[in-house]
Amino acid sequence: MTDAKYVLEMKNVVKIFPGVRALDGVNLKVSEGKVHIICGENGAGKSTLMKVINGTYEADEGQMFYKGKEIGKRTVEDTIKMGIAMIYQELNPVLDMTIAENIYLGREPMKGMLVDFKKLYEDAQELLDSLEIPYKAKQKMSELSLAGHQLVEIAKAISMEASVIIMDEPSSAIADAEIEVLFKQIFALKEKGVAILYITHKMDEIFRIADEITIIRDGKWIESGPAQDYDPGKLVAKMVGREITNVFPKEVDIPIGEVVMEAEGLTQERSDGGRFRDISFKLHAGEILGFAGLVGAGRSELMRAIFGLDPISSGNIYLNGKKININHTSDAVAAGIAMINEDRKGYGLVLGRDIRENISLAQINRFIKNGLIDDKSIDKVTEEMVKMLKIKVAGGKVKAATLSGGNQQKVVLAKWLIGKVKVMILDEPTRGIDVGAKSEIHKLMCKFARQGMAIIMISSELPEILGMSDRVIVMQEGQMKGIINREEATQEKIMLLATGGGIEE
């Protein structure tokens, strides 16, 4: 039995992926005409939850009720027909078609065998007008901004008579001014009795539109309650409130040396809006500098630019006090900067080639004798690296594609370690790697720091950031929000900065 006053209700929902309980007993009660916000860190399970609701995934345990009736296995199409629509983070409109055609795509009004265009445009215009969306039904989708696409998507959901609309971080892709348009629409939908399930990390948004809040953490339901019961501090505490055990200990006795690298006012301006602005920091020998922030805060983009993969519009980089110009990755490599990319398969390895070719790739000049490659010395160095990093592999001639994630990551490390690296940038170095290999990589990081290497680590796992970093830089929406020393760093402080909440003194 369930309470019919909720339009959507979930009880004890569990979703298991191989090796991980992505959702572990989630409860949710969504009321008509309310904005219900789902809060949680990166990887807390928000998106999985939405996908269970919209039918992409099937829950392994638990019950789900829609308008008082239990619903079980169903497809995404079934779910839409029932009245639950989802607006994805990344929309896929047909840009060359009109607004009306997009709204009624696949369910155009027909007159015999032909599409009834007159009715199509009349219906669409009526719909837009009723929602006070200021577009003409005959406008092409391509004329609209991203926020416009979202509004059309909302109109589409309404036209399907949705009573629950799920919005997955709708504000992440649109500019501030457009967010107002979106919010106006959300308030109008509430008036109509539509329930909105809204995922976001942004504190200011949460407290402007939320009626109810549900917090999940590590796949577990933490609590739900009316929005007025929360403030940013409390919300963050609940989002991150796990016990910190020192799973990732940096050896704190490692001496911190001179400044190795200094960034000064790094800014990227692009036609689609740059991804970071005015970033300045100093990095010391033996130091691990953590970069924390939400996914999309611009951390990876910043590091890619420092390494020469993307352009920097203004600002300076100094290495050992000397200004360096990095126009291409080859400049960075020559200067002694190494980067381990978050996308290991995309940017780290040539999967179809063997280990020794991968390891020698970035430092091939070291192995050239009289203009020719000295394969014997490559084999020797490969063997040394396999031993030192404990890479589990039958031999140097094994293709990189056949290794496990942890071992692949070690090959990427080896690629840089055979050269002289002053600054090592690690972007999510342990993502998708099993616990054992994870701790090995952390130990290696300490070892490198002890040898005097300066390390930058981006991580979206707060325990990893807190455990490994000497200092933590927090970024939000392309800007530096603060630098916190190891002793003062807490999950709450970092999350508050990362969500734009600001530290209360």
Partner 1 sequence: MINKSDSGKFNFGEFYTRFGTFLLLVIIFLAACLFVPGFFGRENLTNILRQIAVVVVLAFGVEFVIILGHINVALGSEIALIGCISCMVMVGTQATLGAGGALVVSIIVSLLVGVGIGAMNGFVITKFNIPAFIMTLGVTECARGAVLLLTGGKPVSGMAENFKFLGQGYIFNVIPVSVIVMIIVFVVCWFLLNKCRFGRHLFAVGGNSNAAEASGIKTKNIVRKAFIIDGICAAIAGILFMSRMGTGQPSAGLTYEFKAITACVVGGTSLAGGSGTLVGTLIGAVIVGIIENAQNLLGINAYWQQVVRGLIILVAVIIDVVTKRAAAKAK
* Binding residues for partner 1 (CB under 8 A): 307, 309, 328-330, 332-334, 339, 341, 343, 346-353, 357, 360-362, 364-365, 368, 371-373, 392-395, 398-399, 401-404, 407, 415
Confirm if 467 and 248 have CB atoms less than 8 A apart: yes
| Identity of the residue, 177 or 394, whose beta carbon is nearer to partner 1 in the bound complex | 394
Query: Which CB sits closer to partner 1, 214 or 409?
Result: 409
Q: What is the DSSP letter of 327?
A: S
Based on the number of CB atoms within 10 Å of its own CB, is 449 exposed (0-12), middle (13-18) or buried (19 or more)? buried
CA dihedral 91, 95, 99, 102 (to 10 degrees): -60
What is the spatial distance between Cα 457 and Cα 442, in angstroms, rounded to a whole number? 11
Name the nearest CA neighbour of 301 among 293, 313, 309. Answer: 309
Shortest Cβ distance from residue 304 to partner 1 (Å)? 9
Query: Which residue's CB is nearer to partner 1, number 130 or number 327?
Result: 327
**Residue (of 468, 465, 473) closest to 498 by Cα position:** 473
Measured from the CB atom, is 228 or 404 closer to partner 1? 404
Which residue's CB is nearer to partner 1, number 35 or number 413? Answer: 413
Q: Identify whether the C-beta of residue 90 lies closer than 8 Å to the C-beta of residue 296.
A: no
Whole-Å CA distances, 195 to 154, 288, 370, 379: 13, 45, 72, 63
CB 316, min distance to partner 1, A: 21
Nearer to partner 1, 178 or 331 (CB): 331
Nearer to partner 1, 228 or 327 (CB): 327
- Nearest one of 190, 164, 168 to 80, comparing CA atoms: 164
Shortest Cβ 408–partner 1 spacing (Å): 10
Q: Nearest CA to 241 among 220, 226, 213? A: 220
Q: How far is the CB of 126 from partner 1 (least distance, A)?
A: 45
Angstrom distances, CA of residue 424 to CA of 165, 322, 437, 465, 477: 44, 18, 19, 16, 24
Q: Which is nearer to partner 1, 190 or 399 (CB)?
A: 399
- Amino acid of residue 258: E
Report in angstroms how near the CB of residue 397 gets to partner 1 at its nearest.
9
244 near 491, Cβ under 8 Å?
yes
Closest contact distance (angstroms) between CB of 193 and partner 1 is 49
Least separation in angstroms between residue 172's CB and partner 1 is: 24
Give Cβ neighbours of residue 45 (< 8 Å, ≥ 6 apart): 15, 22, 23, 26, 216, 218, 219
Report, in Å, the least distance between residue 427 CB and partner 1. Answer: 11
Residue number, 117 or 347, with CB nearest to partner 1: 347
Lookup: tokens for 61: 């345990």
DSSP 480: E
Least gap, CB of 336 to partner 1 (angstroms): 11
Q: Is 155 helix (H, G, I), strand (E, B) or coil?
A: helix
d(CA 199, CA 166): 8
CA distance 452 to 187: 56
Encoded tokens for 181? 């348009």
Owner of token pair 């406008």: 139
Nearer to partner 1, 112 or 371 (CB): 371
Nearest of 454, 485, 470 to residue 285 by alpha carbon: 454
CB nearer to partner 1: give 405 or 500. Answer: 405
CB of 372 to partner 1, least distance (A): 4
Burial class from Cβ neighbours inside 10 Å (0-12, 13-18, 19+) for residue 377 reads: middle
Q: How far is the CB of 51 from partner 1 (least distance, A)?
A: 28
